[in-house]
Structure formats: C-alpha cells, structure tokens
Amino acid sequence: MSITISYISSLSDKESTALLFTDGSAVSGFYKSEPEKEYVEKGLSAETALISINQYVKQLFFIKPKAENIAYRRKENLRKTGADLFKQVSQLKLESLQLASFTDDPEDVLALCEGLMLGSYDFLKYKTDKDKKETKLKQIRLYGKGLTQERVEEIRNLIEATCIARDLVNEPVIYLTAEQLSEDISQLGEEAGFAVEVLNESKIASLKMGGLLAVNLGSPNPPTFNILEYKPSDAKNSQPYILVGKGVVYDTGGLSLKPTPNSMDLMKSDMAGAAAVVGAMYALAKNQVPVHVVGLIPATENRPDGNAITPGDVITMYSGKTVEVLNTDAEGRLILADALHFAAKYNPQLVIDLATLTGSAAKAIGKEGIVYMGTASDEIKKAFEASGNEVYERLVEFPLWEEYGSQIESGIADIKNLGGPDAGAITAGKFLEHFISYPWLHLDIAGGAFLTSPDSYRGKNGTGLGVRLLYHFLKSSVG
C-alpha cells in the first residue's frame, strides 16, 4: 500500500481532518464561525452523511453516520462514506489526513478508514504514467475514544491483505502463470510468517492428482499444488481449518472453448478463490491470530492445445474416483476435487473452499453476495453468515438435496463433471461433495470477485472478495 495508516493519541489543529460524530456538540470547537456551523448542520441530513468546509490552512470533513438500527449495516454505510471521502480527498490533492471519531464505538472510525483505503486501491503496475495517476494521499492518522494501536495495526494488515488478493486477481497470465503464482505466494509467506510448500508437476503426477493434471494437459506451462500453513505456538484449535482456493490462472474453457471472445476477457480472474486464500493467510499471520490454518491451492491454466483433455474423456481423480468429463469448461471442480480429498489427511476441523465456479451463481444473486452450501453444522453456518454480515460479504445458502445428485450420474464412470441446464451452482457443489469426508463449506464467489464497473470501496476489477470474510470468521472462531 502506498498510504500509511497509524494511530495517534491527540489531534493536530494544523492537519486536514475528517470528524466522525453523532452529537454535534462534540465537534463544535472545530468551527471558526457561526456561519460554518450553520452550513454544516444544514448540509448534513438523512441522505447526506458527509460535508466539507475549507478553513484555508486545512480542510475539515464532517461525517454524521446515517441512523441505522442494525450494527453491521451502520458499519457498511461508514465504509461507503469512507470511499466517498477518498474521492474528495483525492480531488483536493491532500497528502495527509486525520480521521477523528467522537462516537462511542471505536469500530466506527475503523470502518470509515477501511472504506477509504479500499476505495483508494488502484492497480497501476502496467501504467507507464503511474506517477500521475497515483493518489497524493500518503498518510492517514486515526484518533478516537477506545481506539488502540493494536487495533489500528490489525485493520491496516487486513486492508493490505485484501489489496494483495486484488493485485493477484488483476495480474494477467502473461505474468501470473501457476509457477509464478507459487513464487509470489512463497514471497508473501516469508513476509507474513506462514510456511509454503510447492509441489511441482512431477510430484503432482506421483500423487496421481488426475483432476489437476487433466486440466493442465493443454497448457504450455506446468501446474503447481501449493500448501500454505500457519501454525502459531499458541494456536487454540487442535484440528486445523483448511482453506482451499481454485487457482485457474487463465481459463479459455479448454476444447469446450468459451463461445465469444469477450466471455474470455475476464478469465484471468478465475484464480480469485486462490487469491482469497492467500490474502486470508497473510492477514492471519501478520496479525498473529492464534489459529492453525492450512491453505491448499491447485494452480493451472485451462487451454485448448492439441493434447488437451477432450469432452467424453474419463479421468481418475486423486481419490480414485472416476469422472466422465463432458465439458472441459467445468474445470474448476476437477482441480478442487483433488485438493478437497488431499485435505482429509489433516483431519480438519472444517474445510472451506472458494472458487469462481459457476455462472449460475453469478446469475442467481449477482455481485451483491456469495452463494454457499455445505455439510458443516448449523452452528458453524450461523457463525459464518454472521461474519459475512459483519464484513458485508453476505452469504446465501443453496441446498445440497440428494435429488440434485442424479444430474451428475454417469453411464460409464462414477460421476460426470456436468449437471443439467438448471441449478448449475448446486450440481457443481454436489460434484465436490463426492470428495469430502469432514465438515465442509463451499463458496461460489463468481458474482463479486471481479467487477466490470466501480462499486464504492470494492472498486473495479479484482475485489479481494473472501479475504475479510475468512479473516473475521477464523478470528472469531478462536475468540
């Protein structure tokens, strides 16, 4: 991140400042005149939460949160206000800003900061004039009742982790091959403090990971299987949590080629599940959360070379189960299946997989939420949904009813990789269910992982969807 975030115990009266308050008397001392006060009080309304005044030597931004009875919606409104604040700060070319909270909840100013910082994200690596496009804002200082240095550092690391995931998703395959992804993960592991083991193609072949090998057959670049582990000495869980991320660094559809050129335009984002796992591991390790977590990332391209897997082929998975491949564009479930079976060796407490798996999920709920399903207990699902609300990466559970299983029955193999014309997100989940033997949640993040137009602090292109959700859930799970 180009912007630094720090905690301060007192405010400077010479710095531009955003003032967050619910009671107007708390900020009365910041006005230079009665007309200023009248202007602000008149400007702030139920619809307008942010208004600014120029005091020549500094800019003041007055922020009064909208009335909201539900706490997590209040935080989301503050994130969005933070993104709006960044636009104004950017237009004014401010280099530093104080965020000062005069509310009773220190989480208010952290949510505002989160929205501002995530709203400031821009992927400029390949811009030749990046200096002109970079924000002038370099420093944010946070002040507020109940705020601590530790909490500020935690949110800073979580924002950084989300931006790391965004960077990975935004990278084109001309750079981010499976092997390069593994190198980047290894470097991030060194920075944050989690271990990384990379299995190369020969090791993958020796393990007979038939799904990953089959999808990779048409690629000029080899696959990798990445094992990330964060195991602090004070971990509170005796059985690890496992995070599995789909790592298709580019998806043409294989020989079942995607029907139109523009349907391939966004397919560098088909590894957003892997990026979410990397980001979550980075945040957990950086913040030294006492939880044992293992990340599994099968990585490959899906291309239509002459040696590529063909519709009608039968492959043998790492589990020994045979799969009839009827559509090579339903490849994500093949590589996830190998990783999910591999996860069993850890005797996990819970396994969560994330994947941009189906267009059906995106069509069902759009960018506004995440489709999920699984065999975990209702208690775990309830806690997971609560985390989704808190970070506003909301979850909608789809059923795994046994009737859907008939759609993936094969006449010549154990199962096939394609269901019928309806309920595609569910039949993809039913396919994955064949490879699990532990409590499990499957997240289809196809709707919100990559956006073609800006959406408040989520921005445009890679969003880092899943990082904040996983972090909040796992941190909450260990108290």
Q: Please give the positions annotated as active site.
A: 258, 333
Q: Is 67 exposed, middle or buried (0-12, 13-18, 19+ CB in 10 A)?
A: exposed
Pairwise CA distance, residues 472 & 393, whole Å: 11
Q: How many Å from the N-terminal Cα to the C-terminal Cα in the chain? A: 29
| Helical pair 107-119 and 149-170, crossing angle rounded to 10 deg | 30
Pairwise CA distance, residues 280 & 164, whole Å: 10
Closest C-alpha to 2, from 133, 142, 139: 139
Element (H, E) at 275: helix 272-286
Residue 57 DSSP code: S
How far, in Å, are 388, 415, 466 from residue 368 at the CA level? 12, 32, 13
Q: Is 266 exposed, middle or buried (0-12, 13-18, 19+ CB in 10 A)?
A: middle
Element (H, E) at 245: strand 241-245
